[in-house]
Every structure is written in structure tokens, then in C-alpha cells.
Amino acid sequence: MSPALRHMRYVLAENPVTAGAFVGFALLIALALFGPMIAPFDPLASDTDIALQPPSLAHWFGTDHLGRDILSRVIVAARLDMQIALAAVALSFVFGSLLGVLAGWYGGGIDRAIGRVVDTIMAFPLFVLAMGIVAALGNTVGNIIYATAIINLPFYARMARAETNARRDAGFVEAARLSGNSDARILAAQVFPNILPPMMVQVSLNLGYAILNAAGLSFIGLGVRPPTPEWGIMVAEGATYIVSGEWWIALFPGLVLMAAVFCFNLLGDGLRDIIDPRRRT
Amino acid sequence: MRPLLDVVDLCRRFPVGKSQLHAVDMISLHVMPGEAVGLVGESGCGKSTLVRMLTRVLDPTEGSIRFDEREIGYIPAARFTRTPDRALIQMVFQDPTESLNPRFTAFDCIADPLRRLKGPWTTAGLKARVEDLAGMVGLPVELLGRFPHQLSGGQKARVGIARALGPEPRLLILDEPTSALDVSVQAVVLKLLDDLRRRLGVSYLFVSHDLNVVRLLCERVIVMYLGKVVESGPVEAVFATPRHPYTKALLSAIPSRGEEGGPRIRLSGEPRSPIDPSPQVCRFFGRCPLGADACQTEMPELREMGEGHRVACHTPMD
């Protein structure tokens, strides 16, 4: 077994909570990949004869106002929600850290220019900014991803800037110059791997935030449109029925959403420990 | 014999608001092939700035740096990285912990300059070369897979030396290579450095404020004060008969020499500011125990005062 794998196993064995978060993450990925195959019913097929049934053996999570199986809808929704969260976080991670690393490395005018752009984004209430972007660009999955990516970008940019700045004059950077590395190579091969561990914590926290953001946009009607199964819409649809006692429609998608966010938040520390070689003994 | 490194009138000024900080001011020095030269001076005298210019990671404001008969001072630092001379000037850093990338194993730390500056390598060839270098600096081959945090201070220092020697430099600049080490480890590392120089014929520029180390390892010594060379010459001559009052005070401060070197000279007063210094006043004026009138009206030039022994003082001591 390679040292990296052995180290990963060591971290997971040391920390059962992290191991649990990894299992949860694997489950979510599995749902996203195989959801439509696992789902017991067609998530879009409505049958008004069985509308608003509470959880039963046939329909574990009950049925909604159109008689659709909520369990199936929750399972199938995982793919879309994960897609949005992962794509948005990947985008903001890539562009945010690129901007941050450049700002922290070159300083001066570049730093000020990037800093002001980031400050401008931060000046808006982020959810309102996301609403504005989706409202302006149109109600598509792609635009939800872009909006979520833009509002998360400042966190990566700021962190990458601070971490890079702290290492700009480090001895190993100067040594890398003497070893014949160009600036670009120093940034990519020497500085970036060193700022990765704290960034990974940010990535996992952000995954939870991105999923909540996407669900939030759908909840207020600015995201994915019905009848597409998506956790945020399902909570929104179920919300109107809570007062009349049909609690299961909103509860189960909400619980899954909460579990996913919880799992992402726990993932961060584990990811950092796996990536940081200083934790190896 | 022609000098390997020949520096003439090198200057580096940094802007401080509207003023200029003269970190290195008209410094000339040379290092012969295979020679070990010590560079001493207190903190803030411009040693590090000088060293960063000589290693060509910092561009000089003025002056010339000739290396092996080639003028390299005007090549911008970013471009110098790609010239063949990059391999020939290497450096051992002061802090062995901070100068090793925490995410690189000892092997990768040593292999990085080889990959960039030498080669192309086969996997086996690179491994053999790295193990060869590890053997040369006395680093057990089993430790090559370790990360810096898993190595001791002395082992990290050895990794740093192996890394610098990998590209087969002709000039090795050592920036207080032992000041971050335990005293017991210091002696071992210094012995290693001395042996390596004799075996490989590399020239050393040894930056230190440990004068005993300079006396032991170097053939010539250059004393800097506030961006200027105040005295230079063969180690025996400078240590036996320091002519500049600053050198004399520096030598009298060596603990073990307290008695034989005469009474300790205590310097009073503050060092002059390196920001927009007057070109007429000696940099040491105000702290100098002698301080004649001429010191305030004319900057003393370096003058030959014996075989290779040069002093910049109006009232040299004997």
C-alpha cells in the first residue's frame, strides 16, 4: 500500500467522526450516481389516488400532494443537488485560489485590484446577490451554479491571498528560485501545495453552504423549477402542508439536506489531516 | 589567477517614502577559485542584501557582478534563473527548517535543483545521484523518504547542504549555516563544510557573525558596517592586527579572546541611520572611539595597509 493510502487509513481509524463523515459522503455520491436506479418509484409519476399519504411500508417517506413517492424524489434529487454544489465549489475554489495566490504573491497593484473586486462582492448580502444574479441571468441550473460560485469566491480568494503572502518570503521559496524554478513553477509546485490543507477545510464547509444556497434559491422560486425533484423545492412545496398536518412532505427532504450539510462540515478536518504531511508520524 | 567572483561598486538602495535606504553602498570584493572568504558584520549591516544580490535573486541598483569573467549583474533575477550560471552559484540557508518545503521529502528537496538545473535524468539515475549526495553530506539514505518535520536540525542542515551541492556549484554562499543549530551539531556541520570544500574545490562565501568560525574556516575575511566594507584581508592579519576600530571592537567581543585580545572595547552611541546617509561622513562616526574631525568631512576610502589588508579609516590602529 502506498504511504498516502496508509496515511489516509491511519487518519480515518484515529478519528471515527471523520470516518463517519467520509461514509456519509460516499453514500451521497452513490445516491448521485445511481439514484434513478435505486429509487423504488418514478419520481415524476403522480397518482392523485394516493396523494398526501403519511409514511407507510409502501411509501417510506409518504407521498406528496400529487401522490409522488417522496423517498424516490429525495433519492433522485441527490444528483442535481450534488452537481450544483460540487460544480459551484470547484469553480469558486479554482478561480478564488488563483486570484488569491496572484494577489498574495505579486502584491502591489494586482493585490489592490483583486482585493477591491473581492470586497465589492463581500459588500452585498450574499444570498441577495445570488438571487440577483439568477434573476438577471435566468432560471437555469448553470446560472445557479455560477451565482453560487461567485458568492463563494471571496472566501477562497482571501484565504489563498493570506496564506500565499505569509509564504512569499519563506526560505524554501528562495531556495526554489536558486534551484532554477520559475515564478509560475514556484507558485504551482511549492506554494500552492502548502496552502492546500487550510483550503480543503474551506472547501468542505463551502459544499454544505453551496447546497443550502441552491436549495434556498429553489425554495424561493428562483432555482430549479418544479416538477424536477430537488431538496429545496420539495421543502418549499411541503411547507404549505405543515399547517394542515402533512409534516412528512417537508420533513424528509429537509432532514436529508441537513444530513448532507452536517456531513460536509465534518469532512473538512479529515480532509486537511489527510492532505497535510506534517500530520504523518 | 583570475577571481571567480569579482564585485565592483555594488549598490542597492530601497525607497523609504521619499528617501533612499542605502542597504549596500559601493561594495567591491572578490573571491578566488577554491577560496573561502568570510563576511562578517552586525545585524542590519546589509549582509543579507549583498548575499541576495550575489545569488542573483535580487537586482542591484548599480555596480557590476562578474562571475567567471562573465558580467551577470545586469541580468534580471527572473531571467538569471534560466541561465547556465544558475547552477554554478548556490546557497546554504540560515534556517534549515524554514528553507525546506514542508511538503517535500528530503529526497525531493535534494532532487528539485537536479531536475531543474541538471539532467535529463532517468528515475534510477536521479535516485543514484541523490543517494550519492546524501552520502557526501553524511545523511543516512533511509532518511530520504522523510519529511522535514521528521528530521532533526542537523539532518535538515545536511539536506540543505546536499541540495546546494547537487548542481555542482563553483561558488557556494553560506548564510550563517549553523546559527540555528545546537552547539554540538554546529561543530560537526562546520567540519563537514570544511571537508567538502577541500574535496570539491568549491569557493565559499561564508556569512557569519561568529568570528571564531570565520577564523577556523576562511582564508580571508571582509568586515561590513552599515552597507560598506570597513576592513578586509587575510584572516591571520585581520585577527592579529585589526586596523579598523570597528573590527577591533568586534574582535574584542569574542568571549574566549577577552583576555588575550586586550580589554573589551565597548561601543557607545547608536549606529547612524542608513536612510539618506551623508556621503561625507564616515558611517562609523558617532560610535567610533577615535572619531577625528576628518571623519565628519570626508568618507574614508579603502586603503592598502599591508599584504592584501585593506582598511577604510582615517585613523587606523596598529
Q: What is the pLDDT of residues A19-64, one digit of tens each?
A: 888 888 899 899 888 878 887 777 777 777 777 777 887 777 878 7
CB A110 within 8 A of CB A98: no
**DSSP secondary-structure letter at B32?**
-
SS3 B242: coil
Residues B10, B317: Cα–Cα separation, whole Å: 27
Q: Is A102 within 8 Å of A192 (Cβ atoms)?
A: no
**Which residues does residue B174 pair with via DSSP β-bridges, in sequence order?**
B92, B206
Which of A7, A106, A178, A278 should be substituted to probe chain B, the one whose Cβ sees the most B Cβ atoms within 10 Å?
Answer: A178
Q: Which residue has the higher pLDDT, B265 or A264?
A: A264
Which backbone phi and psi does B98 adopt, to 5 degrees? -75, -20
Set of cell numbers at residue B260: 588575550
- CA quadruple B276, B278, B281, B285: dihedral sign: negative
C-alpha count within 13 angstroms, C-beta hemisphere, residue A261 = 15
Interface of B with A in 71-90 (CB under 8 A): 77-78, 81-82, 86-87, 89-90
- The whole-number pLDDT of residue A230 equals 84
B185 neighbors B154 (Cβ within 8 angstroms): yes
Which residues pair with residue B234 across a beta bridge?
A: B220
pLDDT at A280: 63
Sheet holding B220-225, edge to edge: B89-92, B171-175, B203-207, B36-40, B220-225, B228-234, B310-311, B303-304
Give me B103's grid cell.
Answer: 511538503
Instruction: Give the helix/strand (H/E) hosting B159.
Output: helix B153-165
The 10 Å Cβ neighbour count of residue A6 is 11
Q: Do B101 and A183 touch (CB under 8 A)?
A: no
Q: Do B147 and A277 touch (CB under 8 A)?
A: yes
User: Under an 8 A CB cutoff, do A178 and B116 touch?
Assistant: no
Q: State whether residue B314 sits within 8 Å of chain A by CB.
A: no
Residue range A186-211: mean pLDDT, rounded: 88
pLDDT at A40: 77
Residue B20 to residues A22, B3, B13, Cα–Cα distance (Å): 57, 32, 6
The residue among B15, B220, B164, B180 whose CA lies nearest residue B95 is: B180
Is the pLDDT score of A281 beyond 60? no
Q: Do A175 and B147 touch (CB under 8 A)?
A: no
Superfamily of domain A3-279: MetI-like (1.10.3720.10)
- Nearest residue on chain B to A193, alpha-carbon basis: B103
pLDDT in tens, chain B (318 residues): 889 999 999 999 999 888 889 889 889 999 999 999 999 988 888 888 999 999 998 999 999 999 988 899 899 988 898 888 899 999 999 888 889 999 899 999 999 999 999 878 899 999 999 999 999 888 999 999 999 999 998 899 999 999 999 999 999 999 988 888 888 888 888 999 999 999 999 999 999 878 888 988 999 999 998 888 999 999 998 888 888 888 888 888 877 655 555 677 778 778 888 888 888 888 888 888 877 777 888 888 888 888 888 988 888 877
What is the C-alpha R_g of chain A?
A: 22
The verdict on pTM exceeding 0.80 is: yes
CA of B110: which chain A residue's CA is closest?
A179
Separation of alpha carbons B11 and B26, rounded Å: 5
Q: Which pLDDT does position A162 carry in this prediction?
A: 93
Rounded Cα–Cα distance for residues A171 and B245 (Å): 34
- Closest CA relative to residue A248, chosen from A262, A234, A227: A234
Could you give the percent of chain A with pLDDT greater than 70?
A: 98
- Provide φ and ψ at A261, rounded to 5°: -65, -45
* Helix residue ranges per DSSP H, chain A: 3-14, 16-38, 70-106, 108-123, 126-137, 141-167, 171-178, 183-185, 192-219, 231-242, 248-275
pLDDT at B262: 65
- Whether the Cβ atoms of residue B175 and residue B52 lie closer than 8 Å to each other: no
For every residue of B105-149, which 3-state class applies, written as one string?
A: CHHHHHHHHHHHHCCCCCHHHHHHHHHHHHHHCCCCHHHHHCCHH
Q: What is the mean pLDDT of residues A112-136?
A: 90
**CB of B91 less than 8 A from some CB of A:** yes
State how far residue A113 is from chain B, nearest Cα, in angstroms. 22
Better-predicted residue by pLDDT, A224 or B125: B125
